[in-house]
């Protein structure tokens, strides 16, 4: 159909699910400040309490452990900057963390050590063990649960075992994982976890930091008693309600994984030389990160956009800029692959027609590139 577009950039943000939209509108219509004692305030408080219980049930943690924030970025900043209450002396982060972890770590003023990743984009556990063992003293380790660019799922439970054996704490940025893989607090063994609504079809403007029960914590924001005095500021009731609704509506990954596998088969059929990153290990079912040697990401993105396909070249937190991926660099990939990295991420409203449209566009892009290369 003329003018039809396919949105395949759900890891940047996912369109709001109908269930989440309905919950947001209902909360906006209800109004009320959750800190007020009157009926309207109590109704707003009830929406927040219900959302907190929904998220806790999905994670297998206690509701009181869930602290609502404005975003995953705020949650990551809270975790790293609030860890001063633990008496930690240094931070340890993986080389492929989101900028909100890397930059927050640098802003604390504490020493920051970086753990390398293997060629498949997953944290090098032996390097983590050696790094923690080389310098005793309390540390906070931050390892994302699933990478936003490649979809690589990290061995967080094993990283947690290593960290705790050395007397360190472990935080995980699970923003890309929530709603896409099963997350069980007891199995992961975390001290803190960051999550967000808009990657799974909830509204932008709602996130949460989950803090282990009994763990001391230094708030990032002061000036109110909200969130049990751990995050001051009037709660965004509508966004929080939409967050919970989106999480309740999250589907099993089987359908999406089938679409992803079909998409990757089409990638290889049109260009046998294409490289798919982190393909060998566990990945998010919705994510494909790839490059065709010699084809620059900027040119490919423009061609896809003109063909009505929305994809990206890595993280979406750089004001629309196309920049070199620190994730692909950390994996030790060849410079021409790093320069050509493209991310396709499916979501709740993705269909077979979207994959077919992508495949048709890719076939044309790859053919034109290969013709030029052969000339």
Q: CA–CA separation, 312 vs 126, rounded Å?
A: 32
Give the gyration radius of the chain's Cα atoms: 21
Answer yes or no: are the C-beta atoms of 245 and 208 closer than 8 Å.
Answer: no
- The string of DSSP codes covering 338-372 is HHT-EEEE--TT--HHHHHHHHHHHHHHHHHHHHH
Is 317 catalytic? The answer is yes
User: In sequence order, what are the residues at sequence separation of 6 or more whose Cβ sits closer than 8 angstroms to the Cβ of residue 144?
Assistant: 94, 96, 97, 98, 101, 154, 172, 173, 174, 175, 176
> Taking phi first (over 0 means left), then psi (-120 to 50 degrees means alpha), and beta for anything else, what does residue 194 get?
beta
Q: CA–CA separation, 129 vs 166, rounded Å?
A: 8
Instruction: Tell me how crowded residue 191 is: count the other CB atoms within 10 A of its CB.
Output: 21
Q: Pick the catalytic residue: 317, 353, 367, 373?
A: 317
Answer yes or no: are the C-beta atoms of 233 and 269 closer than 8 Å.
Answer: no
Catalytic residues: 317
């Amino acid at each position: 159909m003329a003018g039809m577009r396919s949105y395949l950039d759900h890891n940047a943000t996912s369109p709001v699910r109908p269930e989440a939209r309905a919950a947001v509108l209902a909360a906006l219509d209800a109004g009320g400040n959750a800190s007020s004692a009157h009926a309207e305030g109590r109704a707003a408080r009830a929406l927040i309490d219900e959302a907190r219980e929904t998220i806790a049930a999905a994670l297998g943690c206690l509701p009181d452990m869930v602290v609502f924030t404005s975003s995953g970025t705020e949650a990551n900043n809270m975790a790293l900057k609030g860890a001063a209450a633990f008496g930690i002396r240094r931070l340890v982060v993986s080389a492929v963390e989101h900028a909100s972890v890397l930059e927050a770590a640098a802003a604390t003023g504490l020493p920051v050590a970086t753990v390398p990743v293997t060629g498949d984009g997953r944290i090098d556990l032996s390097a983590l063990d050696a790094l923690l063992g080389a310098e005793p003293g309390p540390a906070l380790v931050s390892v994302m649960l699933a990478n936003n660019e490649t979809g690589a799922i990290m061995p967080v439970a094993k990283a947690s075992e290593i960290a705790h054996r050395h007397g360190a704490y472990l935080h995980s940025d699970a923003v890309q994982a929530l709603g896409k893989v099963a997350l069980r607090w007891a199995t992961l063994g975390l001290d803190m976890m960051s999550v967000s609504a808009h990657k799974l079809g909830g509204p932008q403007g709602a996130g949460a930091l989950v803090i282990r029960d009994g763990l001391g914590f230094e708030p990032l924001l002061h000036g109110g008693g909200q969130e049990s005095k751990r995050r001051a500021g009037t709660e965004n009731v509508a966004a929080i309600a939409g967050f919970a609704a989106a999480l309740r509506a999250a589907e099993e990954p089987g359908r999406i994984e089938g679409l992803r596998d079909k998409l990757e088969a089409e990638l290889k059929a049109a260009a046998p030389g294409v490289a798919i990153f982190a393909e060998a290990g566990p990945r998010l079912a919705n994510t494909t990160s790839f490059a065709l040697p010699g084809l620059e990401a900027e040119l490919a993105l423009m061609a896809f956009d003109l063909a009505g396909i929305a994809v990206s070249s890595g993280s979406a937190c750089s004001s629309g800029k196309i920049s070199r991926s620190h994730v692909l660099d950390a994996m030790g990939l060849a410079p021409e692959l790093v320069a050509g990295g493209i991310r396709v991420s499916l979501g709740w409203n993705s269909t077979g027609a979207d994959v077919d449209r992508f495949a048709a566009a890719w076939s044309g892009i790859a053919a034109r590139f290969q013709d030029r290369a052969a000339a």
